[in-house]
Amino acid sequence: MIPTVEWKEGVIRLLDQTQLPGRTTIFECKDVAAVVSAIRELKVRGAPAIGVTAAMGVALGACSATETDVLALTKNVLCVCDQLAATRPTAVNLFWAIERMKNVLWKNRDRTVREMQSQLVEEALAIQREDIAMCKAMGRHGAGIVKDGQHILTHCNAGALATAGYGTALGVCRAAREQGKNIHVFVDETRPVLQGARLTAWELLEDGIPVTLITDNMAGAVMRQGRIDLCMVGADRIAANGDVANKIGTYSVAVLAKAHGIPFYVAAPSSTIDIMTSSGSSIAIEERPIHEVTTLHGGTWIAPKGVHVLNPAFDVTPAEYITGIITERGIFAPDQIAETFKG
């Protein structure tokens, strides 16, 4: 399995996704500052993977703290939680994971510093294990939708690299393949950071799943030619009404899918569902640095210097465009989300 994020003897080891597909290098986080910059710079990315990494970041902060009483340690760790929470605003998994770590602080307030530290490490590892289990369960539910011989369009990277392993949208593809179905995945390159071209195409090739890379602006034409049977994407946050925030460009794919009568599915674990947010219009959308748009992979300029640029990292797909949401608990219509996942 692709080792997206690993906790090893008090160090967080990340497969540096900014270097893929050219180089597979490990970025070691030995302090919280390294975790914060790794998340901001997309060394680790994808909603569930960000959550797992942040949880490990909280554990790392606790283990490297020098406080000798639990109250002082708790104050320190709460500051770490704030630093990690300020890294990226859209994926709710980040805040969900930090909340779980804060609960550990609260539940263990009467324990020793040592015990508190080991409970925090345990919780981070549990979040990692549970994420893999949720991806596998989504795969089992979602694979039923995929028929032998189908062509699936995906956007961004919702694979093993975006999770603790196996993936959400790509987990469904993997599971269909494991059931012996012949599938073919079309991948949008996903400008501006190219998660589709660099990461999804790489992951699928590594797994021997047939893949065709297209530029984002080809999706409509490819659908019109009848070459896509199904769209399958991940999510960064799902609001109570079933609106879905995901990588910029997802909305365009959903609109195109509807126009061509193609089912559009979202695969996401319950840690991505935020029923406290009533609709997609309340979801904070991250604005990223403009060099991601004006340069290619931080190098060659492809736009005139000084041009005005927009770079929202995510968009919101309204529930009406979504055929179904695949979760570890089953497949639901968008309007079943609030009722199913309340408390």
In the complex, minimum distance from the CB of residue 44 to ligand MRU, in angstroms, rounded to a whole number: 9
**Cα 263 from Cα 294, distance rounded (Å):** 34
Identity of the residue, 240 or 253, whose beta carbon is nearer to ligand MRU in the bound complex: 253
Instruction: Provide CB contacts within 8 A for 79, sequence distance 6+.
Output: none
Judged by CB under 6 A, which of 2, 5, 29, 45 binds ligand MRU?
A: 45
| Nearer CB in complex with ligand MRU: 90/108 | 90
Q: Which two tokens stand for residue 135?
A: 């991806």
Which residue of the set 16, 131, 216, 236 is catalytic? 236
Q: Using CB under 6 A, which of the segments 19-27, 40-48, 53-61, 301-309 binds ligand MRU?
A: 40-48
237 binds ligand MRU (CB under 6 A): no
* Interface residue with ligand MRU, options 52, 158, 197, 222 (CB under 6 A): 158
CB of 268 to ligand MRU, least distance (A): 7
**Interface pick for ligand MRU out of 172, 313, 316, 325 (rule CB under 6 A):** 313
| Candidates 59-67, 102-110, 160-168, 213-221; binding stretch for ligand MRU (CB under 6 A) | 160-168
> Which residue number has the CB closest to ligand MRU?
234
Least CB distance to ligand MRU at residue 162 (A)? 3
Between 229 and 286, CB nearer to ligand MRU: 286
Does 142 bind ligand MRU (CB under 6 A)? Our answer is no
Q: Does residue 294 touch ligand MRU according to CB under 6 A?
A: no
Residue type, 280: G
- How many binding residues for ligand MRU (CB under 6 A)? 17
Residues 4-23 that bind ligand MRU (CB under 6 A): none
Q: With binding defined as CB under 6 A, does residue 247 bind ligand MRU?
A: yes
Contacting range for ligand MRU; rule: CB under 6 A; set: 4-12, 156-164, 174-182, 276-284: 156-164
| HEC assignment per residue over the chain | CCCCEEEECCEEEEECCCCCCCCCCEEEECCHHHHHHHHHCCCCCCHHHHHHHHHHHHHHHHHCCCCCCHHHHHHHHHHHHHHHHCCCCCCHHHHHHHHHHHHHHHHCCCCCHHHHHHHHHHHHHHHHHHHHHHHHHHHHHHHCCCCCCCEEEECCCCCHHHCCCCCCHHHHHHHHHHCCCCCEEEEECCCCCCHHHHHHHHHHHHHCCCEEEECHHHHHHHHHCCCCCEEEECCCEEECCCCEEEECCHHHHHHHHHHCCCCEEEECCHHHEECCCCCHHHCCCCECCCHHHHECCCCCECCCCCCCCCCECEEEECHHHCCEEEECCEEECHHHHHHHHCC
* Closest CB 314 distance from ligand MRU, rounded Å: 6
Indicate if 236 belongs to the active site: yes
Among 27, 35, 43, 46, binds ligand MRU (CB under 6 A): 46
Distance CA 23, CA 274 (A): 35
Q: Is 235 in the site for ligand MRU (CB under 6 A)?
A: yes
Q: β-strands 184-188, 211-214: how paired?
A: parallel
- Map the footprint of ligand MRU across residues 166-225, applying CB under 6 A: 168, 195
Sole binder of ligand MRU in the list 74, 128, 200, 246 (CB under 6 A): 246
For ligand MRU, the binding residues (CB under 6 A) are 45-48, 91, 156, 158, 162-163, 168, 195, 234-236, 246-247, 313
Q: Which sequence positions are flagged as catalytic?
A: 236
